[in-house]
Chain A
């Protein structure tokens, strides 16, 4: 913009300068022409008398005298025929000036020579071989009565000859050039000043305020609504800046209002979330208490029955011995006593199993986590189960897929999962059946699949198999804690367990474990362990 303004101003000034120079040149040329004309006139008057006397020598002296003046390059007189009669350059005397030469052409251009000429017609501009400009002027020497009195000139002849004066333009041109230089310098100085001043004004009143506004807009664009622009004037820029400031202030207020609302909303959401969390925690506690109560009732039942039997037998035996049976007991009595004691032993053992499994069930919250490779765990399980599988005539297969990732888990508990599920599978499978243990990578992390070709689980039992003390085994063969323990372990590892079963075809348990427990999920593991509720598919 500044450059355009500068160039425009320079062009206008340049044009004005050129016009002024042209005028000056014309004026100077006019002045030189005038002085040339006067000089010619003066020469004509000075030689008038000598010419009347036909004193060629007198004319030559005057011509030489005038021609020696500074700036006069040549002065000469030639007659009507064009022969040079007298010249300040004596060498050219007697030579003939052709009628079509530039000195003569002014009068002799047409068929009849002109007798009178305006000054402008008598002037011509020549250029010396050295480049110097020369102004030439001719002054006709008119016939007059004094001439015709004694001379040979007939009275009808109007023009007797021509006085030709040439003046050097060197001095005038130098003056014009100097003037041109001065004007150019002046122009440059003026132009620079105008452009500089324009730019300064432009910068001060337009560019700088616009730049401030742009920077403020960029800051606002980046989210800083405190960006203000100083209002320095009352013009359009000033009004623009004021409008901007008002707008950003409004925006800032709106945003702070919005943020305030947002904060309030966040606080309320947090408060509500806290309340919900408290409620949830209470619910968990209540649920836990309820399941503990249920567990306690079940445990009481499970243990009370064998204890009642044991007490009854104990009293029976005491009464028997207190009765003071004479002599040693009969074989029949001894056999009966032995049978009773065996039952007491068996029932006490059953109570012990229940307590041991309960302990295992309650221990599962405190898992010892480490990064474990599942392949050796699966292999250990295979070794442990091999003998039993052989005894039952069931084929046991294990398979670990390549690329199985390591899992952060309690290795002993994972082994317990596999063992419990595989033991159940073996017991639920007739001889010639098959039980397989498979470990494979899974989108969830890893997948443990324990499948059998056994009798399957009836549909109505599927919803209860993970509940503590639920068992379909004969009394004394299981206390119904195995799957509850498995469920608790899986839950504590943030995994999931699914079961699919078809009576007569077999059962498949699928345990999915994440490669590592989710962040900050430790606390939840113990809480959910006590309230198993299996996920069935």
Chain B
């Protein structure tokens, strides 16, 4: 999964996209403490730029962001590569969750994300 990037085995490359500094930084700190390699982005454009430039094992996307929202970013990512995406939201809006779920199911290889929950789960 991460053969070409030279990171130690068991280490994940994680992308966190959130406009809220506290959410972004706390999640990043958590995963870094676990020894993962974490990149952060404040918005959708920056995230897409990072996705194009590097390979990631998983991406955490905030749904509600100024400019391009998380769902749009997820669609763009899905169009480029098979990157598992976890949507984050502080809203308990069912409609929004449904929309997020439909976006996730549109991913070409949802199975690639199956291994991740056990390792990153405690943070979510």
Asked if A and B bind, the verdict is yes
Instruction: Give chain A's interface residues, CB within 8 Å of chain B.
Output: 297, 300-301, 304-306, 308-310, 312-313, 315-316, 319-320, 340, 343, 347, 475
Q: Is the CB of B29 within 8 A of A340?
A: yes
- Summarize B's interface: helix, strand, loop or mixed: helix
Give the contacting residue for B26; candidates A301, A313, A319, A475; CB below 8 A.
Answer: A313
Residue ID in chain A nearest B27 by CB atoms: A312
Give the contacting residue for A309; candidates B22, B33, B92, B122; CB below 8 A.
Answer: B22
Query: Within 8 Å CB of B93, what residues of A?
Result: 297
- At the interface, yes or no: B20 with Cβ under 8 Å from chain A? yes
Given known contacts A312-B29, A313-B29, A305 and B20 CB-to-CB distance under 8 angstroms: yes
Instruction: Give chain B's interface residues, CB within 8 Å of chain A.
Output: 20-23, 25-27, 29-30, 33, 64, 90-93, 122-123
Beyond A308-B23, A312-B30, 18 extra complex contacts between A and B, CB < 8 Å = A300-B91, A305-B22, A306-B22, A308-B22, A308-B26, A308-B90, A309-B20, A309-B22, A310-B22, A312-B23, A313-B26, A316-B26, A316-B30, A316-B33, A320-B33, A343-B22, A475-B20, A475-B21
Most buried by B among A304, A312, A475: A312
Query: Within 8 Å CB of A309, what residues of B?
Result: 20, 22-23, 25-26
Residue ID in chain A nearest B18 by CB atoms: A305
Query: Within 8 Å CB of A301, what residues of B?
Result: 64, 90-91
Query: Within 8 Å CB of B33, what residues of A?
Result: 316, 319-320
Q: Separation in Å of the B9 CB from the closest CB of chain A? A: 21
Q: In the complex the two chains form, what is the Cα distance from A356 to B115 in whole Å?
A: 44
Interchain Cβ contacts under 8 Å between A and B, 28 examples: A300-B91, A300-B92, A301-B64, A301-B91, A305-B20, A305-B22, A305-B23, A305-B90, A308-B23, A308-B90, A310-B22, A310-B26, A312-B23, A312-B26, A312-B27, A312-B29, A312-B30, A312-B123, A313-B26, A313-B29, A315-B122, A316-B26, A316-B30, A316-B33, A343-B22, A343-B25, A343-B26, A475-B21
Q: Separation in Å of the A310 CB from the closest CB of chain B? A: 8
Query: Within 8 Å CB of B27, what residues of A?
Result: 312
Query: Within 8 Å CB of B29, what residues of A?
Result: 312-313, 316, 340
Which 10 A-B residue pairs are closest in the complex by CB-CB distance?
A309-B22, A312-B26, A304-B90, A309-B26, A301-B90, A305-B20, A313-B26, A347-B22, A305-B90, A309-B23
Query: Within 8 Å CB of B20, what residues of A?
Result: 305, 309, 475
Query: Within 8 Å CB of B123, what residues of A?
Result: 312
Q: In the complex the two chains form, what is the Cα distance from A344 to B122 in whole Å?
A: 20
Number of A-B contacts (CB under 8 A): 48
Q: In the complex the two chains form, what is the Cα distance from A390 to B88 in whole Å?
A: 43
Q: In the complex the two chains form, what is the Cα distance from A301 to B23 in whole Å?
A: 12
Q: In the complex the two chains form, what is the Cα distance from A313 to B25 in whole Å?
A: 9
Residue ID in chain A nearest B20 by CB atoms: A305
Q: In the complex the two chains form, what is the Cα distance from A347 to B122 in whole Å?
A: 22
Q: Separation in Å of the B63 CB from the closest CB of chain A? A: 10
Residue ID in chain B nearest A343 by CB atoms: B22
Residue ID in chain A nearest B26 by CB atoms: A312
Q: Separation in Å of the A418 CB from the closest CB of chain B? A: 31
Q: Separation in Å of the A173 CB from the closest CB of chain B? A: 137
Q: In the complex the two chains form, what is the Cα distance from A59 to B25 in whole Å?
A: 184
Q: Separation in Å of the B32 CB from the closest CB of chain A? A: 9
Residue ID in chain B nearest A320 by CB atoms: B33
Query: Within 8 Å CB of B23, what residues of A?
Result: 305, 308-309, 312
Q: Separation in Å of the B66 CB from the closest CB of chain A? A: 10
Q: Separation in Å of the A63 CB from the closest CB of chain B? A: 162
Query: Within 8 Å CB of A475, what residues of B?
Result: 20-21
Query: Within 8 Å CB of B91, what residues of A?
Result: 297, 300-301
Q: Separation in Å of the A475 CB from the closest CB of chain B? A: 6
Residue ID in chain B nearest A347 by CB atoms: B22
Q: Separation in Å of the B8 CB from the closest CB of chain A? A: 19
Q: In the complex the two chains form, what is the Cα distance from A472 to B72 in whole Å?
A: 23
Q: Separation in Å of the A35 CB from the closest CB of chain B? A: 148
Q: Separation in Å of the B14 CB from the closest CB of chain A? A: 14
